[in-house]
Amino acid sequence: MIERARSVAAGFADVGLTQAEELLRRVSPEGRAQARREREARARRQRRLLVRVVLAAAASLLVWALLAIAVAPAVALAVAAALMLLLTALVLIRAAPRAPGREALAGAALPDLAAEAAVWLAAQRRGLPPPALRLSEAMAHRLETLAPRLAQLDPRSPAAAQVRALIAVELPDLVDGWRAVPISLRGSARDGAPAPDLLLENGLRLLDGELARVDSQLGRGALDGIAVQGRYLELKYDADGELR
């Protein structure tokens, strides 16, 4: 009973600390930058939703135009209106959730994946131990620099599949696995295994290192591309600008 009471008290203390940490984070420069990223992510989702609704309206108008040739205009209009309602309902049902859950990562297009991951990561910071919190902030900055490179990456390439698995699968799996451990057990080692807090920290460090490697690799690819283009131009044109 006493041990149970201590665990409950420790849980309440952790909750109080995490709320204070969250307040400090929100008013910090990093918190303001993250709020900006969240607003940008919401704006992207709204734009995607608007584009899909417009496409649904265009498809309904096309169906109405085609049916109006063969059937009565009232029937064509009724079918087109029903189709518009159906497509709009499907768009809204499949819209990205407002809360940045794992579904948002899994469904994000490759150019938006890094930004969505930064928003998701910010939503997971509550309760993280200080070392993991610092690593999550560093990963958010790295994801922000990685985003332009992902926009230029072929979504069908092996590199794209590797990045998607790293960001949309392995990172959420690590954080979700840590959150599944009761708060009172996260900071203590048991049965010779490291503490869950330490395992989370080490895992985030490994993932951050892998993101750094991917960023460097994609950057080298861009440098090689511009070098090849420059050499091509040197071979094609002479110093006077004449075609060889």
pLDDT digits (tens, 9 = 90+) for 170-185: 999 999 999 999 988 8
Q: What is the pLDDT of residue 202?
A: 94
Q: Above 80 in pLDDT, residue 33?
A: no
* Angle at the Cα of 38 from the Cα atoms of 34 and 44, rounded to 5 degrees: 140
Q: Is residue 110 located within the same domain as residue 75? A: no
Q: Which range of residues forms the domain containing residue 232? A: 100-244
Q: Compute CA 92 distance to the chain's CA centroid, rounded to the nearest angstrom.
A: 20
Q: Is residue 118 located within the same domain as residue 209? A: yes
193 bridge partner residues: 190
Q: Is residue 205 located within the same domain as residue 160? A: yes
What tens digit of pLDDT does each residue of 67-104 get? 778 788 777 788 888 888 887 777 776 664 444 577 77
Q: Is residue 194 located within the same domain as residue 143? A: yes
Of 95, 127, 148, which residue constitutes the final position of a domain?
95
**Structural domains in the chain (count):** 2
Q: What is the pLDDT of residue 193?
A: 84
Q: Is residue 159 located within the same domain as residue 224? A: yes
Q: Is residue 178 located within the same domain as residue 198? A: yes
Range 198-204 average pLDDT: 93
Q: Is residue 105 located within the same domain as residue 137? A: yes
Q: Is residue 206 located within the same domain as residue 115? A: yes
- Does 110 or 226 have the greater pLDDT score? 110
The rounded percent of the chain whose pLDDT value lies above 90 is 11
Q: Is residue 148 located within the same domain as residue 47? A: no
Q: Is residue 105 located within the same domain as residue 224? A: yes
Of 62, 80, 95, which residue constitutes the final position of a domain?
95
Give the DSSP letter string of 90-151.
HHHHTSPPSS--HHHHHH--HHHHHHHHHHHHHHT-TT--HHHHHHHHHHHHHHHHHHHHHH
Q: Is residue 73 located within the same domain as residue 159? A: no
Q: What DSSP character marks residue 180?
A: T
Of 95, 127, 147, which residue constitutes the final position of a domain?
95
Q: Is residue 85 located within the same domain as residue 145? A: no
Pick the closest to residue 40 from 92, 88, 100 (CA basis): 100
Range 195-202 average pLDDT: 92
Range 27-52 average pLDDT: 66
Q: What is the pLDDT of residue 53?
A: 77
